[in-house]
Amino acid sequence: MKHLINYLRYGCILAICLLPGLSYDSPAQNVNGVVLTDSLNLKVIRVWGTHQERGYACGYILAGELEQMLNYYVKPIFGSSYATARNLVNAGNDLQIDQAYYTEAQGMVDGLTAATGNPASLDVLDVLVGNCLLDLMSLMGMKCNMGCSSLLNWGDATLGTPLNGKAVISRHLDWQINSTLVNNQVMVVHQPSEPGKQHFALIGFAGMMAALSGVNAQLGVFQHVMDDYSGNGQHNQLYKPVWFALRDALENADYNGDGNCNVMDLKASLDDSPNGFAGAWIISALAAAQANDSLTAMIAEITPSPPTHTFRYQTYPDSIPGDNLYTANYQIARNNAMHFCTRYNAIRSHLGNGTLIGLNENWNLMRDWSHLSHNIQFMQFAPEANHLKIAVRTNQPAYQSDAVTFNLGDLLNQSTGFSFNESGNTFAIWPNPCRDYLWLSQRKGPAEIRSVKMLDTLGKVIFAEGRKKKNPDRIPVLSLPSGLYLLIIETGQGIEKYRVVRE
């Protein structure tokens, strides 16, 4: 909870501390978002609505984190060349960015401005530079030594385990150890309202609209750097930014129009950048187990020069047996390079015959034999098991840190109904954050309380009380776990809602 409490003083969290007689600024529009949890150095938020509304909610809720990421990570990456990076995005000749993402970025800036006043005057181009970071670095001749690796198992590989043929992937995100990155790790769950879209979650850092790592109910996609490629992207090629290509595959309910959600949706999104990509990357993708292995698991090796798109499936003779795929940072199928690194060989030698690999075996193989010291995030996705597990770096690598496990169905599909504006409400709620008791005080006019309810972020009622009092008093909260709650007060004038933080 420490990050949630720290940012209360900047007004960038939805739980606003109200004291009797204290005036405060309300957001310019309803905030379609809520903090689900803020623990183990990972903040999880849910946002819903249009691109603009989701962007606004992200900017408002994560205002402090967004400012830190752009001012103290993205800008320093480019240094004196930052203006060049902005100009490349603004010119529109090198990168093809959909208008919807401009709209979402503007919403993010508007939300940030409503929360903090935007003292650094951050704008849409700043947000888009951050989301096209790797593309721009390559176009400007810069290198990003990330790392990353993924192990995919399904079908015969998981038979005889509780997965029983279902699919699973574990993925390391390895990046430079930077305090701004480490302290601003975020998962954003999107619930789009536009037609043809589906719910999805992005796992990365504050301000990311695009998918460095992401999942929906049936598909997970994860980006790696291709370290053994020496070229860079060329100008005027209208490349699709790689992280937006991944998000397109996740957010669209059926990107390739074949009636299914599987790895072919990612392939179609990547193929929609016919000139290749601005940089050289490896993408791992896993879907719920299909009758055809090539629909379940795929490794894409994409570059700016021919062959720009190379796809590896279970049938490729990559020395990994059975229904398993592995990738780190070197080319395997592209030009039949078969470039095996130390981690590739370690997984290959400890995989055995490639069978009896369940959730624990998949996780442990990656934890023990595919880690790097600069491991920032470690995650596992098993769509048919409704399973998403994440560990992030704190003061030690992610693979050595405690992990949190989410029920994927609950994470993606629960509705909070927390969309409202508190500025016209009758009561002051204090202290907020609270520990033992929550006190209610009148801010304006007499109001008879008819009932009080408190809901958790999944909409479950965890406290309810019916009463008729003209003088509000205290509500006990000592028994509640730390987290964010919704307080609903019914009065003679209607229903009012307040966000409350239990420390």
Q: Which of 74, 57, 157 is nearest to 359 (CA)?
A: 157
User: For 247-297, how does the pLDDT look when each residue is reduced to its tens digit (9 = 90+)?
Assistant: 999 999 999 999 999 999 999 999 999 999 999 999 999 999 999 999 999
Q: What is the pLDDT of residue 168?
A: 98
Q: Among residues 181, 198, 209, 323, which one has the least CA distance to residue 249?
A: 198
Q: How far apart are CA 238 and CA 244, in angstroms?
A: 13
Looking at residue 398, what is its pLDDT? 97
Helical H runs in 282-423?
Answer: 293-296, 342-350, 359-369, 408-413
Q: What CA–CA distance (Å, rounded) separates 202 from 217?
A: 12
80 contacts: CB under 8 Å, gap ≥ 6: none
Contact in structure between 88 and 138 (CB atoms under 8 Å): no
pTM: 0.81
* 223 touches 212 (CB < 8 A): yes
For 125-151, give one letter per residue: b (16+ CB within 10 A) or e.
bbbbbbbbbbbbbbbeebeeebbbbbb
Task: Identify which of 341, 418, 412, 409 has the alpha carbon closest to the alpha carbon of residue 372.
Answer: 341
Identity at 92, one-letter amino acid code: G
Phi, psi of 87 (to 5 degrees): -65, -35
The answer to whether the beta carbons of residues 498 and 427 sit under 8 Å apart is yes
Indicate if the alpha-carbon torsion angle 198, 204, 210, 214 is positive or negative: negative
Provide CATH 2.60.40.3080 ranges for the chain: 2-26+421-502
User: Which regions of the chain carry the CATH code 3.60.60.10?
Assistant: 33-413
> What is the reported pLDDT for 158?
98
The CA–CA distances, whole Å, from 439 to 359, 388, 399, 431 equal: 46, 37, 42, 7
Question: Cα–Cα distance between 211 and 332 in angstroms, integer?
Answer: 23
Output the CA–CA distances (angstroms, integers) from residue 146 to 34, 72, 134, 223, in the order listed.
31, 18, 10, 10
pLDDT at 80: 97
- Specify which residues 45 forms β-bridges with: 35, 188
Predicted local confidence at residue 324, as pLDDT: 98
- Secondary structure letter of residue 441 according to DSSP: E
Instruction: Return the closest-CA partner of residue 212 out of 264, 255, 150.
Output: 150
Show the tokens assigned to 468.
């008729």
CATH of 33-413 among 3.60.60.10, 3.30.1330.10, 1.10.1660.10, 1.20.58.220: 3.60.60.10
H or E segment and range at residue 498: strand 494-502
Say yes or no to pLDDT of 15 above 50. no
- CA 54, distance to chain mean position in Å, is 13
Q: What span, in angstroms and rounded, lies between the C-alpha atoms of 149 and 161?
A: 23
Q: Is the per-residue pLDDT at 195 higher than 50?
A: yes
Pick the residue with more confidence: 244 or 488? Answer: 244
pLDDT confidence of residue 8: 31
Residue 362 confidence (pLDDT) above 90: yes
Peptide bond into 20 cis (omega under 30): no
Does residue 197 sit in helix, strand or coil? strand
Query: C-alpha angle with apex 138: 134 to 142, nearest 5 degrees?
Result: 100
Q: What contacts 94, CB < 8 A, 6 or more positions away?
A: 88, 135, 139, 233, 235, 236, 237, 238, 239, 278
Query: Which CATH code for domain 2-26+421-502?
Result: 2.60.40.3080
Residue-wise pLDDT tens digits, 313-345: 999 999 999 999 999 999 999 999 999 999 999
pLDDT at 446: 66
Helix (H, G, I), strand (E, B) or coil at 214: strand
Q: What is the mean pLDDT of residues 379-406?
A: 95
